[in-house]
Amino acid sequence: EIGVKVPIKQLKGFERVHIAKGKTLPVTITVPKKELRIWNEKKGEFFTPLGNYVFMIGASSDDIRLQQVVKL
């Protein structure tokens, strides 16, 4: 939507998982579609922008270790 400002990154799922060095562990974090909504100030309503979303996993926003693009 034109004129709507969207943050570059947003924290949408969080779980602290400690994994021993050299080990692996499956982890699932669910992000419901409604969590992708943003507020349109002009229309006074929430909407979910269509397009590509990059889901990133890491120790911090500066230490991304895995990412996946999902088209909505």
Q: CATH number of the domain that 72 lies in?
A: 2.60.40.10
Range of the domain at 66: 1-72
As for how many domains the chain has, the answer is: 1
Answer yes or no: is pLDDT of 66 > 70: yes
pTM above 0.75, yes or no: yes
Q: Cα–Cα distance between 15 and 46 in angstroms, integer?
A: 26
Length of the chain: 72
Span 3-56, pLDDT tens digits: 677 788 999 988 888 889 999 999 999 999 999 999 888 889 999 989 999 999
Specify the pLDDT at position 48.
Answer: 93
User: 53: closest CA among 69, 64, 30?
Assistant: 69
